């Protein structure tokens, strides 16, 4: 078996029920070594439950699960020795400084000594936190805290890294830096599992994306393949006071598919020219022509209604 054929995660008919509620419903997942895999879904889709089964925090109701070839949850402890987890909400230790956080966390893996010291220095550099090594957690910005959470998850040199919404709440600069670091990790061959609500993040980072809703997997492919599969290549968004009238009179006939979202009309087309030409000729109407993106796929597959879990 060649290296990239090795399955880092292999779930078969994996389910989790809470009473009559099904959080994860008979999912099959395979993640290859070295893959950067994104798991997307609205709130309550079952992503976090799935991740918690992967780490052995909760036991599946049925189905089988292997992570790094360990059967889970039976062998969760030795498996956890080889994974890193960046949680959705930071749980850094507020009583310790930056470097003490890393050292304490390494202690849970039984790591200490000069090798660890060297490794920690490298991690501080990687997180751009050298100047903050003795700072308290409360003195760090949101971006610094997320980067510390990231390198804390690397303290045991894991083979699999699990990131649960790693950039939620970060400003664009901090997010860019995080993305850059994640790409560096990917280039080193580490397998990454990512959940996120930022479609741009998933589109830029992931080799493969799976969209999940109501505990089921809806589709799985590379970002570009997913877009090609579900959405016409061109999207034109039309908005403004006259959009409604324009749609009824002109727009509806020019697109392959259209829908109204709030005050905006969305047109999906294989050939965008007739639409764009018509819009150019029409004054007093605003429009945006853009390529189809992952958000279009996401919304098409999971619907537009608001999820407030």
Partner 1 sequence: MAVTWRQLLDCLRGGRWRAVWWRNFRVWQRLAGPAILGNFGEPLLYLLALGYGLGSFVGDMQGMRYIVFLASGIVVSSAMTTASFEGMYSAYTRMEVQRTWESILTTPLSVADVVFGEAVWGATKSVFSGVAILLVATVLGAVGDARAILVLPLVLLTGLCFASMSLVVTAVSRSYDFFLYYTTLVITPMLLIGGVFFPLDRMPQAIQIAAQALPLTHAVALIRPLVIGTTPHHVVLHLLVLGLYTLVPLMLAVRLVNRRMGG
Torsion (CA) 31, 223, 218, 255 in degrees, nearest 10: -170
Contacts 24+ apart (CB under 8 A), 222-229: 223/294, 226/294, 226/297, 227/292, 227/293, 227/294, 227/296, 227/297, 229/297
Minimum distance, C-beta of residue 166 to partner 1, in the bound complex (Å): 14
**Contacts with partner 1, residue ranges (CB under 8 A):** 55, 57-59, 77-78, 80-81, 83, 85, 87, 89, 91-96, 100, 104-105, 107-110, 156
Distance (Å, whole) CA 275 – CA 201: 30
Distance (Å, whole) CA 85 – CA 161: 6
When the beta carbons of 89 and 309 are compared against partner 1, the nearer one is: 89
Minimum distance, C-beta of residue 47 to partner 1, in the bound complex (Å): 15
When the beta carbons of 79 and 217 are compared against partner 1, the nearer one is: 79
Minimum distance, C-beta of residue 158 to partner 1, in the bound complex (Å): 10
Contact (Cβ atoms closer than 8 angstroms) between residue 59 and residue 44? no
Minimum distance, C-beta of residue 65 to partner 1, in the bound complex (Å): 15
When the beta carbons of 93 and 271 are compared against partner 1, the nearer one is: 93
Kindly report the number of other CB atoms within 10 A of residue 106's CB atom.
20
Contact (Cβ atoms closer than 8 angstroms) between residue 259 and residue 265? yes
Minimum distance, C-beta of residue 116 to partner 1, in the bound complex (Å): 13
When the beta carbons of 85 and 243 are compared against partner 1, the nearer one is: 85
When the beta carbons of 77 and 204 are compared against partner 1, the nearer one is: 77
Contact (Cβ atoms closer than 8 angstroms) between residue 51 and residue 125? no
């Amino acid at each position: 078996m060649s290296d990239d054929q090795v399955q880092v995660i292999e779930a078969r008919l994996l389910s989790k029920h809470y009473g009559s509620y099904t959080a994860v419903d008979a999912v099959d997942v395979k993640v290859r070594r070295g893959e950067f895999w994104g798991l997307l879904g609205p709130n309550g889709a079952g992503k976090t439950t799935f991740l918690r089964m992967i780490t052995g925090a909760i036991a599946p109701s049925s189905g089988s699960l292997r992570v790094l070839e360990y059967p889970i949850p039976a062998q969760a402890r030795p498996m956890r020795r080889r994974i890193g987890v960046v949680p959705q909400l930071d749980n850094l230790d507020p009583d310790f400084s930056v470097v003490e956080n890393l050292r304490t966390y390494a202690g849970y893996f039984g790591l200490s000594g000069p090798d660890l010291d060297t490794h920690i220095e490298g991690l501080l550099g990687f997180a751009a936190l050298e100047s903050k090594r003795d700072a308290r957690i409360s003195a760090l910005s949101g971006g610094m805290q997320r980067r510390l959470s990231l390198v804390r998850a690397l303290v045991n040199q894991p083979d699999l890294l699990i990131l649960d919404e790693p950039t939620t709440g970060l400003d664009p600069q901090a997010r860019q830096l995080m993305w850059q670091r994640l790409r560096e990790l990917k280039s080193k061959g580490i397998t990454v599992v990512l959940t996120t609500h930022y479609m741009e993040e998933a589109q830029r980072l992931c080799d493969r994306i799976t969209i999940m809703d109501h505990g089921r997997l809806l589709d799985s492919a590379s970002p570009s393949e997913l877009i090609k599969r579900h959405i016409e290549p061109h999207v034109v968004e039309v908005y403004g006071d006259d959009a409604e009238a324009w749609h009824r009179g002109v727009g509806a006939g020019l697109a392959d598919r259209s829908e109204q979202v709030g005050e905006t009309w969305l047109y999906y087309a294989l050939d965008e020219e007739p639409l764009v030409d018509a819009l150019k000729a029409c004054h007093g109407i605003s429009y945006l022509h853009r390529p189809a993106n992952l958000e279009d796929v996401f919304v098409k597959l999971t619907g537009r209604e608001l999820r407030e879990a």
